[in-house]
Amino acid sequence: MAMVTSKTLFSIFFIPLLFSPLVTSKEYSFDKSLSPKSLHLRKEKLSHLHFYFHDIVSGQNPTAVRVAQAPITNKSPTAFGAVMMADDPLTVGLEPNSKLVGKAQGIYASASQDELGLLMVLNFAFMEGKYNGSTVSLLGRNAVFSGVREMSIVGGSVVFRFARGYAQAKTFWLNTTSGDAIVEYNLYVLHY
Ligand SMILES: *[C@@H]1O[C@H](CO)[C@@H](O)[C@H](O)[C@H]1NC(C)=O
Ligand SMILES: *[C@@H]1O[C@H](CO)[C@@H](O)[C@H](O)[C@H]1NC(C)=O
C-alpha cells in the first residue's frame, strides 16, 4: 500500500481548491472603482505652511552628512556628484532653538556642473498639532544661489493624502565657510 505523505495530501485536497471558482470570486479581484466619499475625500483644500529649515553640515552634530561622491567631486567647482543625507530640523521661527514643527528627511545631491544646482528628494515629517505624523514629499531642483527656488510637492500622507503643490525656498542665512544654512520655506499644498 502506498504511503500517504503530506505531499500527496496537498495534491488531493489543495490543488483542486486552487482551481475552484471560489478562489477567483470577486472579493479577490485586482481593482475596483470607489467613490471618493468612501475614503472621506470631500472638499480639496489649500494649506500654506511656513517654516525654517536648518541645514548643519559642520561641527560635532551635523544634521546633513555626505554619504557618497564621485572621483571628480572634489575637483568640481559645484561638488558635482556629492550626495547628502539630511535629517534637518524645521522650526517655526528662524532661531535654531525656536519651536520644532518637523524634520526634513531625505537626500540632496549636486546634479549640475555649471552652477550649484541640487536634486532635492525630501520628506517633510511634521510633528506639530493636527499635522503630527503626516508627511509631504518634495522633489525638485534647487539652484541654491538663486533668490527664490521653486520645487514640486509630489505627494503626502495622512492629512496630506493626494497632496500636490509647490514649495518656495529662500536662503535666510548661509555661512560660506562651513556651509551651514538656514532656509525659509513656504509650501502651498492642495490636499483633502
Ligand atoms: C506626535 O505623535 C507622537 C506619536 O503619536 C507622540 O508621541 C508625540 O507626543 C506627538 N507630538 C506632539 C507635538 O503632539
Ligand atoms: C562660519 O563657519 C566657520 C567655520 O565653521 C566658523 O569658524 C565661523 O564662526 C562661522 N561664522 C558664523 C557667523 O557663524
Domain ranges (residues) in the chain:
42-191
CA distances for 139 relative to 59, 71, 118, 123, 178, angstroms: 28, 26, 10, 9, 25
Q: In this structure, which ligand is nearest to the CA of 127?
A: 1
Q: Is the dihedral of CA 151, 184, 179, 103 positive or negative?
A: negative
Strand partners, 90: 53, 102
Name the CATH topology of 42-191. Answer: AOC barrel-like (2.40.480)
Per-residue pLDDT of the chain in tens (192 residues, 90 and over written 9)? 445 555 555 455 555 455 555 555 556 788 889 998 899 888 999 999 999 999 999 999 999 999 999 999 999 999 999 999 999 999 999 999 999 999 999 999 999 999 999 999 999 999 999 999 999 999 999 999 999 999 999 999 999 999 999 999 999 999 999 999 999 999 999 999
Task: Confirm or reject: Cβ of 133 under 6 Å from ligand 1.
Answer: yes
Inter-residue contact 156 to 163 (CB < 8 Å): yes
Contact 68, 83 (CB under 8 A): yes
User: Does the beta carbon of 35 sit less than 6 angstroms from any atom of ligand 2?
Assistant: no
Q: Is the CB of 177 under 6 A from ligand 2?
A: yes
Mutating to test ligand 2, I would choose from 56, 174, 176, 178 the residue with most ligand atoms within 8 A of its C-beta, which is 178
